[in-house]
Structure 1
């Protein structure tokens, strides 16, 4: 979160500007992918580019705000899945949600993949929290012998991003089946 919102509450007009920026960014990312023009986002929100950068100093900070709810939901899903009868099915369900989150906006998979390795990124904290929740599901599936024991959560998320990227890049007339790709991945993750 930016320094302005963590040190003192926003004035009502600043809060409205911030909310409009987030709404317009969500629409722009949906329409044009993560490379959408920030100048257009600001103009559609009715503010100058300086106001956008005052609230969100980087594209990643704005993207993190747009994706925060989805990331929080994935973390909550992971925690709820810890009680699932099948640890393997629970991990796969979480992996599917993770893959879907990665394809929310065109180009997001690459941005998230880079973010997981960059601790200084605004998206890193949200991704790290989501990945930690997935780690608990992975460890449970490994303890039950459902998933190979030498797999790390970093390797799992990299592979799930690969599946998400393949799904995202497939032609619209013949989209890659996300579930089929995940099934193939999880078959390969079975213990020998």
Structure 2
């Protein structure tokens, strides 16, 4: 990639992160291009679809999120790791308004640009749940799909202005439903 193209790419992602934080996943591609000081054609050369832009924007953050899960898994009891993972997921969801809806649609669609990232979150969640179940601290009657659905619902809820102030309480409710015994 040429130096100017690389600079434009980075600038577009930097601006996109800000615009999406302000306006959510429905942020205008034209607004992102304008604020990044590039033409719409330049933006579309780098990111032909909104989903492609989200994939580029989210990939690094989702990788970091799944790495946090690995760290949680290796340094905590399974129930603590799962509870902490759910909290990390909610913080991630809150930082990208509207992304949860996109992820919920993409996680079963291999043609989606977000599929691989969503699959990693899903499998990480399932593994943490399975570890807690093996320890006897998580409900045995649920699977990774159930947990992903609950996390998606929780992410959607805290993305709504009317529920955002209750995020910690909602996380507590979900974790106390999933985990047996001690919940903090």
TM-score (norm 1): 0.86
Aligned with 1:39 (options 14, 20, 30)? 30
1:13 deviates by 1.0
1:151 deviates by 1.4
CA distance in 2, matches of 1:149, 1:187: 14
Please tell me whether the aligned partners of residues 166 and 176 of structure 1 are also in contact (alpha carbons under 8 angstroms).
no
| Pairs within 5 Å for 1:95-106 | 95-106=86-97
CA distance in 2, matches of 1:169, 1:42: 27
How many residues end up aligned between the 2 structures? 181
Q: Which runs of 5+ in 1 are unaligned?
A: 1-9
Quick check: which one's helix share is greater? 2
Q: 1:89 to 1:59 in 2, by over 3 A?
A: same
Aligned with 1:181 (options 170, 175, 179)? 170
Please tell me whether the aligned partners of residues 102 and 109 of structure 1 are also in contact (alpha carbons under 8 angstroms).
yes
**Which 10-residue stretch deviates more, 31-40 or 96-105?**
96-105
Aligned with 1:118 (options 103, 109, 114)? 109
Counterpart in 2 of 1:140? 131
CA distance in 2, matches of 1:102, 1:18: 24
CA distance in 2, matches of 1:31, 1:190: 34
Q: Which runs of 5+ in 2 are unaligned?
A: none
CA distance in 1, matches of 2:157, 2:165: 7
Q: 1:175 to 1:129 in 2, by over 3 A?
A: closer
For residues 134-179 of structure 1, give each alpha carbon's deviation from its aligned partner in whole angstroms, at most 9, with x where no partner exists: 22211110100111123121211111121122222142xx744222
Counterpart in 2 of 1:160? 151
CA distance in 2, matches of 1:118, 1:52: 25
**Which 10-residue stretch deviates more, 23-32 or 129-138?**
129-138
TM-score (norm 2): 0.90
1:181 deviates by 1.1
Q: 1:104 to 1:85 in 2, by over 3 A?
A: closer
Runs in 1 of length 4+ with deviation above 3 angstroms? none
Please tell me whether the aligned partners of residues 82 and 129 of structure 2 are also in contact (alpha carbons under 8 angstroms).
yes
CA distance in 2, matches of 1:17, 1:31: 21
